[in-house]
Chains A and B, each alone.
Chain A
Amino acid sequence: MDNKKKNNNIIEVENLVKDFKGLRAVDNISFSVKEDEIFGFLGPNGAGKTTTINMICTLLSKTSGRIIVNGYDVSTDRNKIRNCIGMVFQDPSLDDRLTALENLHFHGLLYNIPRNALKSRAEEVLEMVNLTDRKNNLVMTYSGGMRRRLEIARGLLHYPKVLFLDEPTLGLDPQTRNKIWDYIVRLKKSKKITIFLTSHYMEETEICDRIAIIDRGKIIALDSPDNLKNKIGGDVVTIQSEDSARFKGYVKDITGIEADDEEEGVIRFEVKDSSRFIPKLIKDSPVKILSITARKPTLNDVFLDLTGREIREENASSRDDARMRMRARRH
């Protein structure tokens, strides 16, 4: 504990690069995570989220750059870092031939938790994720949501300073996903811990204190969810009209905003105070308007605004399906 950190950053990443055989997966990124915050990585599949996490948690070597976790350098103090981080991996990592308690016991031994403390801690984390009554069942018999909860419990067993959650809700049904996030929010309230999570589900990262939006290996924005959304410049308005090209010109005339084409006959733009603006727009419209929606911006709009693409594209969801199928086959 000699080279103690000077500020309250628990993770510092500087100019991090990772190349895979000619492909730059992580392209010179720098950021820091403050102690006790929930920090989120948001981006489409293949953006470099997991690669970055794997480098921070010592599983993957970096091509260049610097990573400091809890005051330790990842190049020299791997074991010290491993001791103070908890991991919930994107893919399952439990031994399903062992019971929940045995999985925790195994983890406790690996992290050198004293035997007498281990028992009470295992009870404590199992209680936290509501698995106490199933603790002596083989993990084989668990549902996907229960496995995830057990993995979260296991990640907390050695009282880590940072808990990494890599796509913690991937492959789970919506109801279970909500439950998992409830656990995470409750956990944050009850424990002094830093949480570093990744997701490609926009709405899920809303619970973060700060979000880094990552795309094609680069961080393209980093701020609180509210600030990111405020940068959009008001509400998101989508209008379907009979002649969208003409309507676009009309919007430009009265607002000065260049609207985007969303799909056939539909345009979208951002405007402040949409509730007052829309009546005015309708009144003078030269084209017949078929429908109007106005809503508060979401993180998806932020991503769209920054990259011109939707975060959840077709290939992303089909990849999830493939992953789900693979899991189903395994168990």
Chain B
Amino acid sequence: MNKELVGVYTVWLRDVKRYFRDKPRVIGSFAQPILFLFVLGTGLASSFSVFGGGGGENFLNFMFPGIVGMTVLFTSFFSAMSIVWDREFGFLREILVAPISRTSIVVGKLLGGSTIAMFQGSIILLFAPLLNIPVTFVIFFKVLGIMFLISMTISTMGILLASVIKSMQAFQVITNFLLMPMFFLSGAIFPLNQTVKWMSIVAKINPLSYGIDAMRYVLLSDPGLQLYPLWLDILVLIVLVVLLSIMGAFLFNRQD
């Protein structure tokens, strides 16, 4: 048992070490959310006054939890998909031939991805005061918990895909056809409760929309913006993590 824990720790340690060593990646990962929030967000907010309607100020606040969620989404997805990368570069074999179970490898990867995602998400939280969103200690830990759940959901999805997908090309396709739609239809940048019917249906099966919903609840606590009750958000995420990680461990455990 102890040996497996060391295995989990080792896989986790490598991912975290690699992340912090890769300075361009650390810096680059803050650039995108900031761009989304302050350029796209400000632009969209001012467009409201052109096409009528108000609430531009509130729009940036609305978007903020979505951007935190977006950061967690992309970071944890790419971390999990680094398995494809490791396979391409051969390092995966070094891990696979080691005397630890495949399950420990999967758990190590999941925790590694979550750690990095939670770190990046927390950095985005530093911008909250600019938008007059209060982040107390309690709120911070609640957000941390939601980030962990989102990240575990997305990471397990990533691992599941990585055990099926063997090529970098397929990985690009996935990014465009799964990750981007998931993000757009998650309620991160526009509300889903007033939108067209098909969109709200797709949003219901999108795991990320539950994560964003929970994030928004914790950060803004504005019932008017909620899609579901908080307990439902959390329940859906937990069930997904459990189901997906069982499937992921199973698929990853298959030899060949």
Tell me the smallest distance from the CB of A163 to a CB of chain B, in Å: 12
User: Measured between alpha carbons, how far is A89 from B94 in the docked complex, in Å?
Assistant: 9
- Segment 29-81 of A: residues with Cβ below 8 Å from B: 57-61, 79-80
The interface residues of chain B lying within 8 Å CB-to-CB of A91 are 90, 93
- Interface presence of B18 (CB below 8 A): yes
From B92, which residue of chain A is reached at the shortest CB distance? A93
Residue contact A60 to B10, C-beta cutoff 8 Å: no
The interface residues of chain A lying within 8 Å CB-to-CB of B89 are 92, 96, 330
Residue contact A97 to B6, C-beta cutoff 8 Å: no
The interface residues of chain A lying within 8 Å CB-to-CB of B101 are 79
User: Measured between alpha carbons, how far is A14 from B41 in the docked complex, in Å?
Assistant: 67
Complex interface: stretch among A106-114, A256-264, A307-315: A106-114
Assuming the contacts A60-B255, A93-B90, asked whether A110 and B21 have C-beta atoms less than 8 A apart, the reply is: no
Residue contact A58 to B18, C-beta cutoff 8 Å: no
Residue contact A83 to B99, C-beta cutoff 8 Å: yes
Q: Among B18, B90, B92, B98, point to the contact of A82 (Cβ < 8 A).
A: B98
Residue contact A107 to B94, C-beta cutoff 8 Å: yes
Q: Among A59, A94, A95, A109, point to the contact of B255 (Cβ < 8 A).
A: A59
- Interface presence of A223 (CB below 8 A): no
Instruction: Please indicate which of the listed interface residues B7, B10, B99, B100 has the most CB atoms of chain A within 10 Å of its own CB.
Output: B99
From B18, which residue of chain A is reached at the shortest CB distance? A97
User: Measured between alpha carbons, how far is A104 from B128 in the docked complex, in Å?
Assistant: 42
- Interface presence of B97 (CB below 8 A): yes
Q: How many residues of B contact A (CB 8 A)?
A: 26
- Interface presence of A13 (CB below 8 A): no
- Interface presence of B166 (CB below 8 A): no
The interface residues of chain B lying within 8 Å CB-to-CB of A95 are 14, 18, 91, 94
Assuming the contacts A60-B256, A79-B101, A93-B91, asked whether A110 and B22 have C-beta atoms less than 8 A apart, the reply is: no
Q: How many residues of A contact B (CB 8 A)?
A: 29
Interface of A is mostly: loop
The interface residues of chain A lying within 8 Å CB-to-CB of B6 are 109-110, 112
Residue contact A82 to B99, C-beta cutoff 8 Å: yes
The interface residues of chain B lying within 8 Å CB-to-CB of A94 are 90-91, 94
Residue contact B97 to A82, C-beta cutoff 8 Å: yes
Contact with A along B71-111 (1 / 0, CB 8 A): 00000000000000000011111111111110000000000
- Interface presence of B17 (CB below 8 A): yes
User: Measured between alpha carbons, how far is A109 from B95 in the docked complex, in Å?
Assistant: 11
From B3, which residue of chain A is reached at the shortest CB distance? A112
Q: Among B9, B17, B94, point to the contact of A93 (Cβ < 8 A).
A: B94
Contact with A along B1-38 (1 / 0, CB 8 A): 00100110110011001100110000000000000000
Assuming the contacts A79-B101, A110-B95, A112-B6, asked whether A89 and B18 have C-beta atoms less than 8 A apart, the reply is: no
User: Measured between alpha carbons, how far is A87 from B92 in the docked complex, in Å?
Assistant: 13
Residue contact B90 to A111, C-beta cutoff 8 Å: no
Residue contact A79 to B93, C-beta cutoff 8 Å: no
Tell me the smallest distance from the CB of A48 to a CB of chain B, in Å: 15
- Interface presence of A102 (CB below 8 A): yes
- Interface presence of A98 (CB below 8 A): yes
User: Measured between alpha carbons, how far is A107 from B96 in the docked complex, in Å?
Assistant: 12
Contact with A along B192-207 (1 / 0, CB 8 A): 0000000000000000
User: Measured between alpha carbons, how far is A92 from B94 in the docked complex, in Å?
Assistant: 10
Assuming the contacts A79-B101, A98-B14, A112-B3, asked whether A92 and B96 have C-beta atoms less than 8 A apart, the reply is: no
Q: Among B9, B91, B96, B256, point to the contact of A109 (Cβ < 8 A).
A: B9
User: Measured between alpha carbons, how far is A178 from B77 in the docked complex, in Å?
Assistant: 44
From B100, which residue of chain A is reached at the shortest CB distance? A110
Residue contact B255 to A106, C-beta cutoff 8 Å: no
Instruction: Please indicate which of the listed interface residues A83, A96, A109 has the most CB atoms of chain B within 10 Å of its own CB.
Output: A109
From A154, which residue of chain B is reached at the shortest CB distance? B94
Known contacts A95-B18, A110-B95, then 19 further A-B pairs from the complex at CB < 8 Å, ordered by chain A residue: A57-B97, A60-B255, A61-B256, A82-B97, A87-B94, A92-B90, A93-B91, A93-B92, A93-B93, A93-B94, A94-B90, A95-B14, A95-B91, A97-B21, A107-B94, A109-B7, A110-B99, A154-B94, A330-B89
13 intermolecular pairs with C-beta atoms under 8 Å apart: A61-B256, A82-B97, A83-B99, A85-B97, A87-B93, A87-B94, A94-B91, A94-B94, A96-B89, A110-B10, A110-B98, A111-B99, A154-B94
Q: Using a CB–CB distance below 8 Å, which chain A residues touch chain B? A: 57-61, 79-80, 82-83, 85, 87, 89, 91-98, 102, 106-107, 109-112, 154, 330
**Those 8 A-B pairs whose CB atoms lie nearest each other, nearest first:** A110-B98, A82-B99, A109-B10, A61-B255, A93-B90, A83-B99, A79-B99, A93-B94
